[in-house]
Structure 1
Amino acid sequence: MDAEPDGARDAEPDYRFTLANERTFLAWIRTALGLLAGGVAVGQVVPPFGVPGATAALSLMCLGLAAVLAATSYPRWRAVQRAMRAGRPLPSSRAVLVLAVGVLVVTLTAAVLVVLG
Structure 2
Amino acid sequence: MSTMTQRRPHWVYDAGQEPDPRFSLANERTFLAWVRTALAILAGGVALQALGLPDTDWVRDGLAVALVLLGGLVTVLAMVRWARIERAIRTRTPLPAFNLGILLTGAVLVGAVLLAFAFA
Q: Distance in 2 between matches of 1:34 and 1:57?
A: 17
Instruction: Within 5 Å, give how 1:62-77 maps onto structure 2.
Output: 62-77=67-82
In proportion to residue count, which structure has more helix?
2
Counterpart code for 1:14: D
Q: CA RMSD in A?
A: 1.4
TM-score calculated relative to the size of structure 2? 0.83
Which deviates more from structure 2 when the two are superposed, residues 58-67 or residues 103-112? 58-67
Instruction: Within 5 Å, give how 1:1-117 maps onto structure 2.
Output: 1=7, 2-4=13-15, 10-49=16-55, 51-115=56-120
TM-score calculated relative to the size of structure 1? 0.85
Q: Distance in 2 between matches of 1:3 and 1:21?
A: 17
Q: Which runs of 4+ in 1 moved over 4 A?
A: none
Q: Could you list the per-position Cα deviations for residues 15-35 of structure 1 after superposition, in whole angstroms to 9, with x for gaps in the alignment? A: 221111011100110000000
For structure 1, list consecutive stretches of 5 or more residues without a partner in the other structure: 5-9
Identity over the aligned pairs, expressed in percent? 38
Q: Distance in 2 between matches of 1:16 and 1:48?
A: 45
Q: Distance in 2 between matches of 1:52 and 1:38?
A: 16
For structure 2, list consecutive stretches of 5 or more residues without a partner in the other structure: 1-6, 8-12
- SS of 2:28 mapped into structure 1: helix
Q: Distance in 2 between matches of 1:95 and 1:48?
A: 28
Which deviates more from structure 2 when the two are superposed, residues 39-48 or residues 89-98? 39-48
Q: Distance in 1 between matches of 2:44 and 2:54?
A: 15
Whether contact under 8 Å (2:48, 2:54) holds in the other structure is no
Q: Compared with structure 1, are the counterparts of its residues 112 and 82 closer, same or farther at alpha carbon in structure 2 (3 Å cutoff)?
A: same
